[in-house]
Amino acid sequence: MASLFREVRKAKQMERGVKYFPTEQLYQELKKRSEIQDSFTKERYYERFIEETESQAIQDLKEEIQALRQDYEFLRQQQQVKRLPTEPLE
């Protein structure tokens, strides 16, 4: 039963992203995987992990910027609608 709860917790954390895992836990998982896999292969797991994490963070920030721009544009249009054309600009 406890392992089921652990798996559910891991799934929820992965759904939110890697940033919700403690750094120590990530290093332990990388170390465990490196013991299983040949360290002399050409694949660089840690570097790829860092690159994926950084690219995900960049993508999240781009999405946030886009959402903020849309909010800004919406608010700007709201302000233009409230002001009547005959009102003096102040």
24-82, pLDDT tens digit by residue? 777 777 777 766 666 556 567 778 888 888 999 999 999 999 999 999 999 998 887 66
Domain boundaries, the chain: 6-37, 40-82
Confidence of residue 16 (pLDDT cuts 50, 70, 90): low
Distance CA 60, CA 66 (A): 10
Query: Quick count: other Cβ atoms within 10 Å of Cβ 9?
Result: 10
DSSP string, 10-73: HHHHHHH-GGGS-HHHHHHHHHHHHHHS-TTSS--HHHHHHHHHHHHHHHHHHHHHHHHHHHHH
pLDDT top residue among 8 and 24: 24
pTM: 0.43
